[in-house]
Amino acid sequence: MTNTKIKVAVLGATGLVGQRFVRILADHPWFEIAALTASARSAGKTYGAAVSWALGGDVPRAAAEMDILPTSAKRLAETGIQVAFSALPAATAHGIEEELRDAGLAVFSNANAHRMDADVPILIPEVNDGHLELARGQAKRRGGSGFIVANSNCTASGLVLALKPFEPFGIRTVIATSYQAISGAGRRGLAAFDIAANVVPYIGNEEEKLARESRKILGRLAGEAIEPAPFEFNASCARVPVRDGHLLSLAIELERDIEPDAAREALASFRGAPQELRLPTAPEAPVLVRREEDRPQPSLDVEAGSPERAKGMAVTVGRIRRSGRFLNLFALVHNTIRGAAGTSVLNAELAVRRGLIPHEGGPGRTKETRP
Ligand SMILES: NC(=O)c1ccc[n+]([C@@H]2O[C@H](COP(=O)([O-])OP(=O)(O)OC[C@H]3O[C@@H](n4cnc5c(N)ncnc54)[C@H](OP(=O)(O)O)[C@@H]3O)[C@@H](O)[C@H]2O)c1
């Protein structure tokens, strides 16, 4: 990699996803935080003073001392950043992400503002790294170097990682039931009164997002568009009183039957482009298989993944069993790491290695991969 790190901004840095970005990027071998933004409520304060830190430990020192900028493309242009990581609410993200792309920046977004744009990939790089080519086309068509790459809804990221290893067996139907953590609703998302000792069997638009995003991610790149994967999908999503970690119960109907042992082997041996390229935030294995009859559990498994900087990047799968024509399993995903900031950083690492983000060393000279 280069001697000079690539300057990046985190937009919406005070929120739950923004905080994950700040932590993951604090000691990143390739990227350096040069700007943090939030709403008018926080702009002008230092990050340390404005943030209501939810991750334990200390706010990384360099970030704590930075002044928060307003979320404005004009202000960000003055900071010399090349990459923007967006953790903004969708309504705010829509315009600013486009402005930053038009200004030539690489934008990696967690918001759902542009996920279904035809030329924006929803990238989970172990699953569909080839879709990054849509971003290259996006930049070329606009005559610049800027592009937007989205990552998926937090639940969809766990879902597609658990499904991808079964693609060779022909995925016909997926029935998904989710048990989703409170942090999925953001820092001020749910009143304690509504969720303490309770389950809420409704999350606005979640079931629809899960269906269309997972079909797009598992879809086929055909020219300059994605043909969505054609499997039948049926989702039910609930909010549960868990801090971090979305648990999914899946019933998967395949065209070719698979026994539980072979399913375990397909999941445990699954690897993708981030592992081949040894990207800094790639977990050694993106899917971990547990054999205990009561795992995965959010309180025990949510931070799965190694090495240290890939903690929370592995999806844990367990309770693999056959029931009639369905293969049943549970999958657990860390919603603000693998489901948000961690995958965004992994996407940016892939974009650097594939030459979409110009930098001093050039893609061919990227030697240093681990911190
Ligand atoms: N939480 C998850 O598990 C998860 C997973 C995947 C994707 N996402 C998506 O990621 C995004 C962030 O989610 P989150 O959970 O981190 O939300 P959050 O905790 O509510 O944080 C929102 C962030 O956006 C800032 N913000 C709010 N209104 C703004 C405005 N008008 N202008 C500029 N900045 C503004 C907030 O700044 P202040 O502190 O100054 O208000 C804060 O930094 C959302 O689009 C969400 O859908 C979330």
> 1 lies in a domain?
no
Residue 83 exposure: Cα atoms within 13 Å on the Cβ side: 26
Name residues contacting ligand 1 (CB within 6 A). 12-18, 38-39, 41-42, 71, 87-90, 92, 110-111, 154, 183-184, 186-188, 335-336, 339-340
Mean pLDDT of 239-248: 98
Q: C-alpha dihedral over 107, 178, 129, 340, to 10 degrees?
A: 30
Q: What is the pLDDT of residue 129?
A: 98
Q: What's the CATH number where 299 sits?
A: 3.30.360.10
Atom of ligand 1 nearest to the CA of 186: 15
Q: Whose CA is closest to 286, among 303, 299, 301, 268?
A: 268
Whether residues 178 and 316 fall in one domain: yes
Reading the block at residue 195, the tokens are 């969720």
**Residue pointed to by tokens 């367990």:** 318
Kindly state whether residue 371 falls inside one of the protein's structural domains: no
- Give the pLDDT of residue 1: 53
Rounded percentage of the chain residues whose pLDDT exceeds 70: 96
Instruction: Name the residue of 11, 16, 190 whose CB sits within 8 Å of the most ligand 1 atoms, as the mutation to test its pocket.
Output: 16
101 shares a domain with 50: yes
Q: Which atom of ligand 1 is nearest to the CA of 335?
A: 3
Count of CA atoms in the C-beta half-sphere (13 A) of 335: 22
Please report, for the domain that includes residue 55, its CATH number. Answer: 3.40.50.720
Q: What is the mean pLDDT of residues 317-327?
A: 96
Whether the predicted pLDDT of 271 surpasses 50 = yes
By alpha-carbon position, which residue is closest to atom 22 of ligand 1?
15
Counting from 1 in the atom list of ligand 1, the atom nearest the Cα of 17 is 16
Boundaries of domain holding 103? 6-152+340-365
- Of ligand 1's listed atoms, the one at least distance from the Cα of 51 is 39
Q: For 42-51, which contacts have Cβ atoms below 8 Å and span 24 or more sequence positions?
A: 42/14, 42/68, 43/68, 43/69, 43/70, 43/71, 44/68, 47/13, 47/14, 47/22, 50/14, 51/13, 51/14, 51/19
Asked whether residue 214 falls in the same domain as residue 182, the answer is yes
- Tens-place pLDDT, residues 280-319: 999 999 999 999 999 999 999 999 999 999 999 999 999 9
Q: Atom 28 (ligand 1): residue with closest C-alpha?
A: 39
Q: Are 51 and 120 in a shared domain?
A: yes
Give, using CA atoms, the residue closest to atom 4 of ligand 1. Answer: 184
Residues 134 and 261 in one domain: no
In a domain, 175, yes or no: yes
Element of type H or E holding 188: none
Q: Is the pLDDT of residue 262 over 50?
A: yes
Identify whether residues 196 and 309 lie together within a single domain.
yes
Tens of pLDDT along 348-358?
Answer: 999 999 999 98
- DSSP lists the bridge partners of residue 238 as 179
The band of 359, judged by pLDDT with boundaries at 50, 70 and 90, is confident
Residues 117 and 212 in one domain: no
Q: 19 CA distance to ligand 1 centroid (A)?
A: 10
257 is a domain residue = yes
Tell me the CA distances in angstroms from 156 to 117, 125, 268, 350, one per residue in order.
Answer: 17, 13, 19, 20
Mean pLDDT score, 174-190: 96
Among this protein's residues, is 154 annotated catalytic? yes
Whose CA is closest to atom 2 on ligand 1? 184
334 catalytic? Reply is no
Question: Please, are residues 241 and 197 in contact by the beta-carbon 8 Å criterion?
Answer: yes
- Residue found under tokens 């992994």: 346
Protein residue closest via CA to atom 39 of ligand 1: 14
Residues 86, 104, single domain; the answer is yes
> Domain total for the chain?
2
Query: Could you tell me if 83 and 51 lie in one domain?
Result: yes
User: Which of 157, 187, 210 most suits a substitution to test ligand 1, by most atoms within 8 Å of the C-beta?
Assistant: 187
Which tokens sit at 335? 């919603």
Long-range contacts of 358-361 (CB under 8 A, 24+ apart): 358/82, 358/145, 359/1, 359/2, 359/4, 359/6, 359/82, 360/2, 360/3, 360/4, 361/1, 361/2, 361/3
pLDDT at 361 (0 to 100): 59
45-67 confidence digits (pLDDT tens) = 999 999 999 999 999 999 999 99
Tell me which residue of 245, 246, 8 sits closest to 107, measured CA to CA. Answer: 8
List 28, 131, 246, 334, catalytic entry: 246
Amino acid 3: pLDDT: 65
The tens digit of pLDDT for each residue in 68-83 reads 999 999 999 999 999 9
DSSP state, 58?
P
- The stretch 263-274 carries a mean pLDDT of 98
What's the token pair of residue 6? 């690539």
Q: How far is the CA of 9 from the centre of ligand 1 (A)?
A: 15
Could you give the angle at which helices 154-163 and 206-217 cross, rounded to 10 degrees? Answer: 40
Residue of 10, 11, 59, 88 best suited for mutating to test ligand 1, as the one with most atoms within 8 Å of CB: 88
User: What is the value of pTM for the model shown?
Assistant: 0.96
- pLDDT value at residue 362: 53
- Read off the tokens for 247: 């648990």
Residues 312 and 356 in one domain: no
pLDDT over threshold 60, residue 255: yes
Please pick, among 154, 237, 334, 359, the residue that the annotation labels catalytic. Answer: 154
Q: For residue 4, count other CB atoms closer than 10 A to its CB.
A: 11
Residues 348 and 306 in one domain: no
246 CA closest ligand 1 atom index: 3
Query: Which residue owns the Cα nearest ligand 1 atom 29?
Result: 39
Whether 58 and 197 map to the same domain: the answer is no
3-class secondary structure, 144: coil
Whether pLDDT at 22 is above 50: yes
pLDDT bracket for residue 275 (50, 70, 90)? very high
83-128 pLDDT tens trace:
999 999 999 999 999 999 999 999 999 999 999 999 999 999 999 9
Q: What was the pLDDT predicted at 360? A: 72
Average pLDDT rounded to a whole number, residues 215-230: 96
